[in-house]
Structure 1
Amino acid sequence: MTDNRHAIPARDARLILAAVCLASITLPLSFSGGAIATPAIGRAFAVQGADPAALSWITNAFMLSFGSLLMAAGALADVLGRRRVFSTGLMLYVLASLALCMAPSLLVINLLRGVQGVAAAATLAAGSAALAQVFDGAARVRAFSLLGTSFGLGLSLGPVLSGLLVQRFGWQAVFLCLAAFGLLALLFGPPRMRESRDPDAVGVDWSGTLSFSGALGALTFGLIGAPDRGWSHPLTLSLLIASVLLLAIFIAVELRTRRPMLDLTLFANARFVGVQLLPVGTCYCFVVLLIVLPLRFIGIDGMDEWHAGLLMLALSTPMLLVPSLAARLSRRVSPGRLSAAGLLVAAAGLCWLAQCGPGVSRWELLAALLVIGAGTGLPWGLMDGLSVSVVPKERAGMASGIFSTSRVAGEGVALAVVSAMLVALVQWALPTGTGTLAAQYLGHGDLAQALSAAPQLSAESLRDAYAHAFALLSYCLAGITVACAILTVMLLREEQPHGHPVIAGKAVE
């Protein structure tokens, strides 16, 4: 592998790190900022017949393309060069963000969000690989620790910053801000980077990429459309069956490829499988709330974007503090037990959140969100390091790639699953004969459109139906989180190997 570390001055190395961290901040901003902007976008395009399923693609289009192309982007960076792919990804990200500000329709917004996801995959994969070429040893650990902190900062600041921008300047300001962050990263980093490639790289596994992306896409389309069409509708069943078949094709392709982008033999390691459960748990106890809660606060509870963003700080701020605490505690407590304990705390917070219906005090709601965020922070601070520490050192790169992909792709699937669950629960809570359209609008946090679709019902009765559905959903999420905690303890029962502590989410060799 080409190594140019000695050719990069210390000042340039710091600026490269700043650029990659700045780019890393924009990715969770794209995720949480899009959720805050969704109600305003829905209001802006209501005259064009914006339906709730189309609005859900504002987030899902980004997550689908981001998660499905992350491994392919890493392979492409190895072949074409990390600097080139990082620069191209950032330029595409900036252009897509600027185009979003001028999008004439909801369809164009959703397509551009997909382009943003492609750009984000290239930026994250190539940026992380570039840092590994710039820094070594303890400096590399510190660099990746700062990278993880930057991601947490984006999660924490995303809702409140986006809320302020939407309320003061309109939803376009969110994407303009993303473009500005991307442009700064583009100006700081690439001019100082040295190109590096993997001389042993064999190119992108296109068969694997297409089958994997197709499986995720079919599953997401099927889940999002199921509440409207029905779970037994031929199109819904066809999409779900297609996702299973494409996944089987993907597995067959990876087993036959000489250098697969996903080494399935790693899943024979029980501890590695246990690590993959951690992002599943954090998806269902934390990540999905970053999307569902702003829609509830703005569309159902009637908050403005700024106050909704402030309230979301209670959920995301612990991510700046608790992961570092988890890294220190992991020296005395098994990371598996510590992670499971965090998931159980988050599950308790979800049960508390289920009790926070209409009229609950803001302080009680804040407390429930703080408990969820604090509990999630324990596995969040350990799982990146665990993903590479549970496998032999020579397979750490592949293990990290698999973990990153399963995390991001899993988040996209979790969003589609939870969205479908909430709409189904709302439909069940509404009076018989109300119709599916009102349930879809209400499930996606659009009380005004739900009233239009069901004029025979009052706003109060619709809020009560939503509150009942949200409580049931919270209990379901808590159950999934508890199941992940139990399986984590069972699969990660061995202690962290002595001499390989986890520091700020990374294993030190």
Structure 2
Amino acid sequence: MPPPAAGDARGRSRAGVLAAVCLGAIGMPMSFTGPAVALTALHDALGGSPAMLAWVTNAFMLSFGACLMVAGSLADAVGRRRVFRAGLWVVIFSSLAMSLLPGQGAMGLFVALRAVQGLGSAAVFAGGMAVLAQAFDGPGRARVFSLVGTSFGAGLSFGPLLSGWLLSAVGWRAVTASVIVVALLSLVLGWRSMAESRNPDATGLDVPGAASFTCALALLTWGVMQVPVHGWRDLHVLLPLAGALLSLAAFVRVESRSAQPMLDLSLLRHPRFVGVQLLAAAPAYGFVVLLILLPIRFIGVERMSPLVAGQLVFALSLPMLVVPPVVGWLVRWVSAARLCSLGLGICAAGLLWLARCQPGTPILQMAAPLLLIGAGMSLPWGLMDGLAVSVVPVEQAGMAAGIFNTVRVAGEGIALAVVGAALSGWLASGLAHVGDATAVQAGVQQLLSGNLSAALAAMPGLSVDALLGIYGQAFSTLLQALAAVTALTACVVFAFLRQPGR
């Protein structure tokens, strides 16, 4: 038995590790949601086409999702603490570079730095979770992973509110720089408390698997993002989608023949494992896309102040701070399958309620359905990470967690691209009577980026009220479609998760 002093030192060390990883978890959603709140200000300051503005979010999500499994493999091979620290430094310097950009004409560089920031965030997440898994074991490990999930929810909840306040009080540079403070605190807290560890049996990075997976994800996202500009039948869309299919086929072939694959394809034989992957994707189109679309609508189209818009988005994510711990208590008496499907059903009902809120709806009336959506999604949110590793054999738990988080993050990037294409189509349909196709297309692109004035300039015969009515109808149709997909996912997830475990 170690002497008391040694036990106290070990306890302080583990507390420092937990605090460092939790701060890293808070910073990731802040990196994700902050630029969405500041998108209009970023366009005014840095310029850029509407298509390029869409990459402000998608570049981060694509880089994050594509590099997550790769970062996990590197952490096992070269050191978990090393990867965690390196990721924090990448986040710090990329955020600093973004906040120091000179002005007009720099949007392309901003997007490139967002991709670098996503790469760093992937290293922080993968390295931090691996460090925690080594520092804690038994029931304590489940509790600390739950705290990390709560920290991520805190970043989602307070990130838009903080970004709205910083944007109003200081400007867009403060929004991009705010992540630096959190990353530095995480770095300092973990500097002495984290012990280095690696997997002695790690065989290194699966380069063919990583390359083919990253290529498939990048081409899929790129192809879907071209739809609002070119339509589904254009070669600008078809060629990237075809390339994505070929890359995916190559990935499956590589992984099926690899002795140490990134993805063990045999896991797909577990119905409950498949159900958890569907559950991982559900927040992307039922919740996360709203964190991006709503600030664009509130600030750019409805002309709300950034602070008011941040408060409304805070209402959407506030339940993430409260509901998940309650779900951990409820699961003692109610099955995870029922709780997850119930939560998705509640989320679908909230989306249908929000679909009735047209532009100009009073703020309090908007807050109620937003709270319902957040409360519904919080039910599965509190269970997903535990389910990810409990539905497969214990020796495959690490791989299952990596796949789950990759599906969750990559799904968010793909969902944003698909939802943007769908909203573009409904807007173009509603505006078809306004004028020629070129003018309508230009107006749609400006609306998607939250630039109401430029949209009106592209379609001079349209009044503000008429344009807001068409926009509101298209947004309502989108929310109804998202509600239908979420409700369908609730049924499918329930059917898969109720299957007997292995």
Q: TM-score range by the shorter chain?
A: over 0.9
User: Residue deviations 1:173-216, cap 9 Å, x none?
Assistant: 01211011111111110332111010000001111111111111
Return the alpha-carbon distance in structure 1 between the equivalents of residues 408 and 183 of structure 2. 23
Offset from partner CA, 1:408-443 (integer Å, 9 cap, x none): 111111111111111111111113324211111112
Structure 1 residues 378 and 495, CA, compared in 2 at 3 Å: closer, same or farther? farther
Once the two structures are superposed, the pairs formed by residues 421-440 of structure 1 within 5 Å of their partners are 421-432=422-433, 433=436, 434-440=439-445
Q: Distance in 2 between matches of 1:103 and 1:306?
A: 24
CA contact (8 A) 1:85 1:123 kept: yes
Q: Which amino acid in 1 is paired with 2:88?
A: L
**Alignment-mate amino acid for residue 390 of structure 1:** V
**SS class of match (1:201):** coil
1:158 aligns with 2:159: yes
Q: Secondary structure at the match of 1:136?
A: coil
Equivalent position of 2:57 in the other structure? 59
Residues in 2 aligned to 1:404 and 1:475: alpha-carbon distance in whole angstroms:
27
* Distance in structure 2 (CA, Å) of the matches to 1:7 and 1:68: 40
8 Å contact from structure 1 (residues 423, 444) kept in 2: no
Q: Is the partner of 1:382 in helix, strand or coil?
A: helix
Q: What is the CA-CA distance between 1:103 and the residue it aligns to?
A: 2.1
**Residue 471 of structure 2 corresponds to which residue in structure 1?**
466
Determine the structure 1 residue equivalent to 2:370.
Answer: 369
Residues 436-447 of structure 1: pairs in structure 2 closer than 5 A: 436-447=441-452
Contact 1:83 1:190 in 2 (8 A): no
Distance in 1, Cα, partners of 2:359 & 2:78? 54
2-side partners of 1:495 and 1:148: how far apart?
A: 26
- Note the 1:58-97 alignment, pairs <5 A: 58-97=56-95
Deviates more, 1:137-146 or 1:169-178: 137-146
Q: Is the 2:88–2:183 Cα contact (8 Å) retained in structure 1?
A: yes
Aligned equivalents of 1:470, 1:199: Cα separation in 2: 52
The 8 Å contact of residues 280 and 405 in structure 2, kept in 1 or not, is answered as no
SS for the counterpart of 1:435 is helix
The C-alpha deviation readout for 1:62-111, integer Å capped at 9, x for no partner, is 00000001000000011110111111111111000000001240000000
CA distance in 2, matches of 1:134, 1:248: 38
Report the counterpart of residue 350 of structure 1 in structure 2.
Answer: 351
Is 1:449 the counterpart of 2:447? The answer is: no
Contact 1:443 1:466 in 2 (8 A): no
In structure 1, how many angstroms separate the alpha carbons of the residues matched to 2:440 and 2:475? 19
2:177 & 2:334 partners in 1: Cα distance?
44
Gapped regions of structure 1 (runs ≥ 5): 498-509
- The residue type equivalent to 1:63 in the other structure is M
Q: CA deviation at 1:495?
A: 6.6
Q: Return the alpha-carbon distance in structure 1 between the equivalents of residues 7 and 239 of structure 2.
A: 55
C-alpha contact 2:80 2:130 (8 A) present in aligned 1: yes
Q: Post-superposition shift, 1:6?
A: 8.1
The count of aligned residue pairs is: 490
SS in structure 2 at match of 1:259: coil
Residues 432, 440 of structure 2: 8 Å contact kept: no
Q: 1:397 aligns to what?
A: 398
Percent of pairs with identical residues: 49
SS of equivalent residue, structure 2 residue 226 = helix
Measured on the aligned residues, the alpha-carbon RMSD in Å equals: 1.5
What is the one-letter code of the residue matched to 1:466? Y
- The answer to whether the 8 Å contact 1:354/1:474 transfers is yes
In structure 2, distance between residues paired with 1:16 and 1:190: 9
Deviations 1:16-72 (A, max 9, x none): 2111111110000011112111111012133xxx21110011110000000001000
Question: 1:309-348 CA distances to partner (integer Å, 9 max, x unpaired)?
Answer: 0111110000111111222211111111110111011001
The alpha-carbon deviation at position 496 of structure 1 amounts to 7.7
Q: Does 1:217 align with 2:213?
A: no
In the alignment, residue 485 of structure 1 is paired with which amino acid? A
Tell whether the 8 Å contact from 1:63 to 1:412 is kept in structure 2 after alignment.
Answer: yes
Aligned ranges for residues 35-434 of structure 1 at < 5 Å? 35-46=36-47, 50-104=48-102, 105-432=106-433, 433=436, 434=439
User: What is the DSSP-based 3-state SS (H/G/I as helix, E as strand, rest coil) of the residue aligned with 1:75?
Assistant: helix
Counterpart amino acid of 1:14?
A: A
Could you tell me the TM-score, scaled by structure 2's length? 0.95
Q: Is the 2:302–2:360 Cα contact (8 Å) retained in structure 1?
A: no
Kept after mapping to 1: 8 A contact 2:271/2:496: yes
Deviations 1:340-382 (A, max 9, x none): 1110110011010100002322222111101101111111111
Give distance in 2, aligned partners of 1:216 and 1:8. 44
1:483 Cα offset (Å): 1.0
Q: 2:491, 2:141 → 1: CA distance?
A: 33
Q: Which runs of 4+ in 1 moved over 3 A?
A: 5-8, 494-497
